[in-house]
Amino acid sequence: MFGEPILAKQYVQFKLTELSAELDMLRTYNHVIAERYEAGEDTTRQATIAKLTAGRLIRKIADECLQFHGGIGYVEENWTARFFRDNRLTSIGGGADEVMLQVLARLDGFTA
């Protein structure tokens, strides 16, 4: 853009850093939960949180990737368009976000 890569823009650098940090937190959380599950602990609540959070984070990442690629990111020929569509499933498949929230609300006692 105007003779320089978009990665030269501080906004883009910060956005990618932010997403990378969020991804790192979730990955670490998942590893800890997997270890607890392996040790025989009931990790239903944590797995539900992970499923909900991962679905939302991947949608955010896919959306930003597409945005940073501009018009070419939107066309079907580019991986970003496929990535955007495919990852949309994470918040639906295997139980929609709302189902995860329903499970969590019940486990946390946020019910009337």
Contact flag: residue 86 with ligand FAD (CB under 6 A): no
Contact 24, 53 (CB under 8 A): no
Contact flag: residue 92 with ligand FAD (CB under 6 A): yes
Contact 48, 104 (CB under 8 A): yes
Main-chain dihedrals φ then ψ at residue 40, nearest 5 degrees: 100, 5
Binds ligand FAD by CB under 6 A, chosen from 94, 105, 106, 107: 94
DSSP state of 73: H
Rounded to the nearest whole angstrom, what is the least distance from the CB of residue 90 to ligand FAD in the complex?
11
Positions touching ligand FAD (CB under 6 A) are 89, 92-96, 98-99, 102
